[in-house]
Structure 1
Amino acid sequence: MIEKIKLENILFLDIETVSEHKHFGLLDEETQQLFALKTQYQRKDEFQPDEFYDRAGIWAEFGKIVCLSVGYFTFRGDIRHFRVTSFCGEEVKILKDFNNLLNNHFNQPQHILCGHNAKEFDFPFIARRMIINNIAIPPKLNLFGKKPWEVPHLDTMELWKFGDFKSYTSLKLLTKILGIPSPKGDIDGSQVGHVFHVEKDIDRIVTYCEKDVIAVAQVLLRMRREDLLVDDEIIHV
């Protein structure tokens, strides 16, 4: 089935998220209490809420998007390219720019969004942050009233499960076993918050995010039994 999808109709994406504030103490008292309630089952008795706040970026209610990278294939005759670009900086601008991209260039019925674990994380996180920031949700993210087969989303982790719901397979593991060059650079997901809030190095985060987008595209190519991308085919816009 995935072999029948034209690659140029797929928009690959990945987001990097951090806690909305640098420190737990910057939250008002009510929000601190709500964070404690939201995370009580994950924390158990091991951590106090303030000790757990560095993980706040995984919840749309307490985190924010600092980078959203996308990639898409272009074909000109036999020449294939994969164009990668990123939206970063203020979250409202990130979301509005991404919204414009979807509405102006990936708004047709044949267009599909693709990510790794994106159905559980990236897609809903983006939609929730759009609501929080009073931005209209584009049709490609608005799932209300859609039947499962009408949802224009692909998830490489879901494709790898083949119906098995018992386990999570990381993108790093999947690229390793499929013989794809590792997408990770000098940081991992747990360090993005520190790099953003303390080091203030958004360029490192952009590089990290774009490597994930490329890796997702490579995984899909392997699942379709097609040649992997080489460096000369990847264009950073």
Structure 2
Amino acid sequence: MISKLNLENILFLDIETVPEAEHFSDLDETTQTLWEQKSQYQRRDEYTAEEFYDRAGIWAEFGKIVCISVGYFNILNDLRTFRVTSFFGDEDKILKDFKNLLISHFSQTKHLLCAHNGKEFDFPYIARRMIIHNIELPYKLNLFGKKPWEVPHLDTLELWKFGDYKTYTSLKLLTHVLGIPSPKDDIDGSQVGQVYYEENDIDRIIKYCEKDTIAVAQILLRLRGDELLTDDEIIHI
């Protein structure tokens, strides 16, 4: 049961992604053709492949990770803190630093990774980008041969579904209905590419990513019936 989980064994995370190149015209001809084919169903006849390219960050084959934010609980006696930090910069370094964190602090069987819609997006995206960068997958992301109950991933979207597979509930909506401070008070995911390429404001993206990570932890607390984190309990490292 979720109430029996040890919060200190969970690594909460969120990622922010952008198109791998700033402009469609920056892609080589083969990649342009492949993007046109890949996006054909989603854009249909409403947009050209070039007009639709600002959404390329959604796909790991055409996007890249610009920030991974993580958070974890530290509970000592009656003192509870939630520590948040971020990896950013060159994508290869982001992925290697994140992998090192998993290996050094979250590699045991009892450890779990938790994200909102993580099973559909964050976890596979990170794994695919690692393979693209020729980085060997850490145990927590290597799902080959694992049975469903052996996968060390929690997903707050899946927990909220309660077995209902017809519904998608966004992080913004779920925080709203649960009375959790919204992490979307500045930008949302659709604006990250613009902030990254046009404004060159990685600090703004990091702040947004860390808010999402905190929100995921808050949702799990609400699902457990625990008290929400206060600002004093959140420590940015």
Does TM, normalized by the shorter one, top 0.5?
Answer: yes
Distance apart, 1:73 and its partner CA: 0.0
Map of 1:116 onto structure 2: 116
Amino acid at match of 2:137: I
Is residue 142 from structure 1 mapped to residue 170 from structure 2 by the alignment?
no
- Partners in 2 of 1:126 and 1:45 — Cα distance? 31
Q: Secondary structure at the match of 2:114?
A: strand
What whole-Å deviation, never above 9, does each CA across 1:97-136 have from its counterpart, x for those lacking one?
Answer: 0000000100000000000000000000000000000111
2:48 paired residue number: 48
Confirm whether residue 34 of structure 1 aligns to residue 10 of structure 2: no
Q: Deviations over 1:190-219 (max 9, x none)?
A: 100000011000000000000000000000
Is structure 2 residue 190 aligned with structure 1 residue 182? no
| C-alpha RMSD of matched pairs (Å) | 0.5
Which amino acid is the alignment partner of residue 123 of structure 1?
A: F
* Partner residue in 2 for 1:222: 222
| Counterpart Cα distance in 1 of 2:151 and 2:182 | 30
Residue 24 of structure 1 corresponds to which residue in structure 2? 24
CA distance in 2, matches of 1:91, 1:183: 24
2:185 corresponds to which letter in structure 1? G
The corresponding residue for 1:210 is: 210
Paired residues, what number?
237
**CA shift for structure 1 position 77:** 1.0
Q: Which runs of 5+ in 1 are unaligned?
A: none
Q: Percent identity?
A: 73
1:54-81 CA-partner distances (Å, limit 9, x unpaired): 0000000000000000000001111000
Match of residue 10 from structure 2: 10
Question: Helix, strand or coil: the match of 1:174?
Answer: helix
Whether 2:32 is the aligned partner of 1:64: answer no
* Secondary structure at the counterpart of residue 67 of structure 1: strand
Deviations 1:21-51 (A, max 9, x none): 0000000001000000001000100010000
Q: Are residues 1:154 and 2:154 paired?
A: yes
Q: In the TM superposition, what is the alpha-carbon distance from 1:185 to its structure 2 partner?
A: 2.9
SS in 2 for 1:181: coil
Aligned to 2:193: 193
Measured in 2, the distance between the counterparts of 1:182 and 1:26 equals 35
Structure 2: state its 5+ residue gaps: none
